[in-house]
C-alpha cells in the first residue's frame, strides 16, 4: 500500500484500487483502478502522480491524473530494466534526487 498527497486530497493505492480522502469534506471516495500494482513507488509532479511498479521487467510506469480520474500506462525508460533498483532509480530521478 502507498500514499501520496496532492492539493487538499490524500491518495491511497493498494492492490488495483485508488482511494481518495478529501481533507476539506473529510470523505473517502473510490477512484479509477490502477492498471498494475506491485513493489511500487509513487511521486507527484505537475498535478499528476507517477507510479513505478517493479515485479515485472521492464518496470511498469503509469501516470494518474486526478482531475480526469484516469491512469495512463507509460513507456519505461530504456535504462530501467531491473525491477527493484529500477523502481528506486526512476522514483529518485522524478523526485529530483537521482
- The residues spanned by each domain of the chain are 2-94
Alpha-carbon distance of 3 to 18, in angstroms, equals: 10
| Mean pLDDT calculated for residue range 27-42 | 87
pLDDT of 32 strictly over 80 = yes
Distances (CA, A) of 61 to 28, 31, 80, 98: 26, 18, 10, 17
What confidence tens digit (pLDDT) does each residue in 39-89 have? 778 888 899 998 887 766 667 888 999 999 999 999 877 666 555 455 555
| Mean pLDDT calculated for residue range 7-33 | 94
Q: Please tell me the predicted confidence (pLDDT) of residue 94.
A: 57
Q: Please tell me the predicted confidence (pLDDT) of residue 41.
A: 82
Amino acid at each position: 500500500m502507498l500514499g501520496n498527497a496532492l492539493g487538499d486530497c490524500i491518495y491511497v493505492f493498494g492492490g488495483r484500487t485508488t482511494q481518495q480522502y478529501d481533507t476539506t469534506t473529510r470523505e473517502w471516495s473510490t477512484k479509477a483502478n490502477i492498471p498494475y500494482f506491485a513493489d511500487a513507488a509513487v511521486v507527484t509532479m505537475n498535478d499528476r502522480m507517477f507510479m513505478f511498479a517493479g515485479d515485472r521487467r521492464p518496470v511498469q510506469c503509469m501516470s494518474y491524473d486526478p482531475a480526469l480520474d484516469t491512469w495512463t500506462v507509460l513507456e519505461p525508460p530504456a535504462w530501467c530494466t531491473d525491477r527493484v533498483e529500477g523502481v528506486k532509480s526512476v522514483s529518485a530521478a522524478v523526485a529530483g534526487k537521482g
